[in-house]
Amino acid sequence: MRMIRVILVEDEKNAMDALEIKLRENFSDVQVVATCNSGAAAIKQIETLKPELVFLDINLPDLDGFSILEKVQSNHFKIIFTTAYDEYAVKAFRYNALDYLLKPVGLSQLKEAIDRYRQQSDADSTIHQIKYFLQNINNTTHGINKLAIPTLRGLKFIDISSIIRLESENNYTIFYLNNQPKLVASKTLGDYEDLLDANQFVRIHQSHIINLACLKEYLRVDGGTVVMTDGMELEISKRRKEHFKEMLNNFLKR
């Protein structure tokens, strides 16, 4: 059995002890090789021990988690952030497909995170994910503007403004973009309905979400259809028609 060598970076002793115990008692393929309560110690141990996985607290007494990553020379490891951040920052994690755990960390959360690590062992994309995360989290005035799309080949980073519409295909979502090939994401349409700005991205049908900024025509015939800037004509379901009209009116008033 291949062991996953793990370093824990956490300045709260109780949180550190609880996480270490959960890992040791519930994951036979996880080996905690070091624990660090400061950024300086984390940098040294990561460089020396070269772990496969790091649980990284964002707020530390000497350095924040992102400063640690900037100073570490090696980047061949995956990161699971542990955070007590507010709702906006958590949403930024989700936009950038970065794995995170909200403190206090529960066992079910931890199992899901370890399972995701086992399925996605490529650490090279982490640096790009963090780059876009920092852009998003530091741009609170203008909102989040980048989205990481998990595809069958890896991650694709797109501008949210480039999205024309999204279409459901079983447990996958097809993204139709301005002047770009379509993308197939390995998440459901419901996942993106929860994530994208509901004032701009509106679900008009069980299978379709549209970007109101890319709406070309609204046709009231036959219950209602929309024509998007890519030329596609889509039906509005009867039960979503009133909600669509309300959101469209609100969007036009912005």
Mark whether 166 and 220 lie in a shared domain.
yes
Is 147 within a domain?
Answer: no
Quick one: tokens of 81? 């952030």
Tokens 């570490």: give the residue. Answer: 72
212 and 238, same structural domain? yes
Mapped onto helix, strand or coil, the DSSP state of residue 117 is: helix
Model confidence band, residue 122 (pLDDT cutoffs 50, 70, 90): low
Structure confidence at residue 117 (pLDDT)? 84
Question: Is 185 a member of any domain?
Answer: yes
Same domain (yes/no): 212, 110: no
148 belongs to a structural domain: no
Lowest mean pLDDT among 138-152, 172-186, 190-204: 138-152
List the CATH number of the domain containing 201.
Answer: 2.40.50.1020
Same domain, 132 and 168: no
Q: Per the structure block, which two tokens stand in for 208?
A: 């379709």
Q: How many domains does the chain have?
A: 2
Q: Average of pLDDT values for 217-243?
A: 93
Asked if the structure places residue 143 within a domain, the reply is: no
pLDDT at 102: 86
- Find the distance separating the first CA and the last CA of the chain, reported in whole Å: 57
Task: Using pLDDT thresholds of 50, 70 and 90, give the confidence band for residue 137.
Answer: low
Interacting residues of 239 by C-beta distance below 8 A, sequence separation 6+: none
CA distances from 226 to 45, 165, 168, 205 (A): 56, 11, 17, 11
Can you give the residue range of the structural domain that contains 44? 4-137
121 pLDDT exceeds 60?
Answer: no
Tally helices (H) and strands (E) across the chain: 8, 15
**In-domain check, residue 145:** no
Q: What would the two tokens of residue 235 be?
A: 């039906």
Residue 142: what residue type?
H
Instruction: Tell whether the model's pLDDT for residue 42 goes beyond 50.
Output: yes
Residue 168 lies in a domain: yes
Strands (E), the chain: 4-9, 30-36, 53-57, 78-83, 100-102, 146-150, 155-159, 163-169, 172-177, 183-185, 201-205, 208-211, 215-219, 225-228, 233-235
pLDDT digits (tens, 9 = 90+) for 4-37: 999 999 999 999 999 999 999 999 999 999 999 9
Does one domain contain both 239 and 200?
yes
Inform me whether the pLDDT recorded for 45 exceeds 90.
yes
Residues 212 and 113 in one domain: no
